[in-house]
Homo-oligomer: A and B are copies of this chain.
Amino acid sequence: MKKFLCGVDVGGTKLSAGLFEEDGTYIDSRIVFNHTTLGCDGITDSIVVIVRELLDAHGLDESLLWGIGVGIAGHINSKKGLIITSSNFKSCFRNYPLRSKLARKFRTNIIVDNDANAQAYGEFKFGAGKTFSNIVFITVSSGVGSGIIVDGNLVRGMAGTAGEIGHTIIDPYSEIECSCGNKGCLMSISSGHYLPQLYLRYLKRGYVSQIGISEDNLDAFDGRMLEEGVKRDDEISKHVLNDSASAVGVGLYNLFQILNPEIFILGGGLVNIGEIYIELIEKRFLSLVRHMMYDRVEIRSSALGCNAGLLGAAALTLE
């Protein structure tokens, strides 16, 4: 009998649930925005409501699902179905047993995992990684995360926190402190959250902003402003774009040495700036890898588009 996939994406701005055919074809989705103000159980209840609504709207029973996959930003112990911690919400999840809570409401397989792992698995099943089995998916957005697939299996590690490449240290003498408290983490020298600090470095060196950014309105310098600045030929924006891409290029290079994957798949807000950013990453990567690459590693952008989070979560049910 024909079965379906259900994915839930618990993000920092929206909570959504999507229904897909087995081959990843989108059917329908539901979305709510007020979930971040709710407590843990409140968020769980919201998930139950929108998934049930989605199933009812299509006259489906959960027995017709391969399962429900939930992707959530944070440290997730997928084996145990626990949210160890997640910083996106008002209520702090601390070892919250989301899987068992949802299992009481749906008689189907429930999988809970980190959103980057989910997206990596989605790319593997339905996206840019479809023809590969050794994949690293990297998302450069407000932070930097990754999902690693080795020989067709997600690498989760002991506690489930594998893939946190944003916190690998690649520049120990950087003056920028990461949210984790260390200095020189990949994410603190590349990702959206740190764009103001990356911009500030050039202001302090005496560069003049051509897009009206000063120390007083630094926080306005986000991903969109970066894209705008590059378009308007702002010298600092171009430097920041290059610095960010260059750091990600070093991150890719380190992952190449450690995992020797077949393909790097790039996603997230900064990557969506487009080819110019990806080309800068690739340039830095190739400048480091030189004679050490025997089989060419592919570098491509995500192919799942705007439903990447939902489809990734849904794909987990096929694991």
> What is the CB-to-nearest-CB distance from A76 to chain B, in angstroms, rounded to a whole number?
11
* Contact pattern, A 173-192, Cβ under 8 Å of B = 1, otherwise 0: 10000001110000000000
Q: Determine if A196 is an interface residue (Cβ-Cβ < 8 Å).
A: no
A253 touches B297 (CB 8 A): no
Nearest-CB residue, chain B, relative to A255: B258
- Interface residue A31 (Cβ < 8 Å from any Cβ of B): no
Residue of B nearest to A172 (CB): B171
Contacts of A151 in B (CB 8 A): 153
Using CB atoms, name the residue of chain B closest to A250: B169
User: Is the CB of A155 closer than 8 A to any CB of chain B?
Assistant: yes
The answer to whether A88 has its CB under 8 Å from any CB of chain B is no
Known: A172-B170, A173-B173. A148 touches B258 (CB 8 A): yes
- Taking a contact as CB atoms under 8 Å apart, the answer to whether B288 and A182 are in contact is yes
CB pair B260 A160 closer than 8 Å? yes
Whether, in the assembled complex, A290 has its beta carbon less than 8 Å from a beta carbon of chain B, the answer is yes
A317 vs chain B, min Cβ distance (A): 20
Shortest Cβ distance from residue A260 to the other chain B in the assembled complex, whole angstroms:
2
Measured CB to CB, the closest approach of chain B to A97, in angstroms, equals 15
Report the Cα distance A255→B250, complex, angstroms: 15
Query: Do residues B181 and A158 form an inter-chain contact, with CB atoms below 8 A?
Result: no
Instruction: Decide if A158 touches B290 in the complex (CB within 8 Å).
Output: no
Decide yes or no whether A163 CB sits under 8 A from chain B: yes
In the complex, the answer to whether A290 meets B181 with C-beta atoms within 8 Å is yes
Contacts of A157 in B (CB 8 A): 134, 259-261
Q: Is A35 an interface residue (CB 8 A)?
A: no
Contacts of A163 in B (CB 8 A): 258
Contact partners of A261 in chain B: CB under 8 A: 157-158
Complex interface bits, A140-164 against B, C-beta within 8 A gives 1, otherwise 0: 0000001010110101111111111
Chain B residues in 8 Å Cβ range of A180: 290, 292
Q: How far is the CA of A75 from the CA of B253 in the complex (A)?
A: 17
- Cβ 8 A contact of A258, one of B134, B153, B258, B290: B258
Q: How far is the CB of A189 from chain B (nearest CB, A)?
A: 10
Contact A165 B258 (CB under 8 A): yes
Counting CB contacts under 8 A, is A282 at the interface?
Answer: no
* Given A170-B170, A181-B290, A182-B288, 14 new contacts (CB under 8 A): A77-B294, A157-B259, A157-B261, A159-B260, A161-B292, A161-B294, A162-B258, A162-B259, A164-B258, A168-B253, A169-B253, A170-B172, A171-B171, A258-B258
Closest 6 CB pairs of A and B: A157-B260, A162-B260, A168-B254, A159-B294, A164-B257, A159-B295
- Listed in ascending order, the chain A residues whose CB lies under 8 Å from chain B are 75, 77, 84, 134, 146, 148, 150-151, 153, 155-173, 180-182, 250, 253-255, 257-262, 288, 290, 292-295, 297
Q: List 11 A-B contacts (CB under 8 A).
A: A146-B258, A150-B150, A158-B295, A159-B294, A164-B257, A168-B257, A169-B250, A172-B250, A180-B292, A182-B288, A254-B254
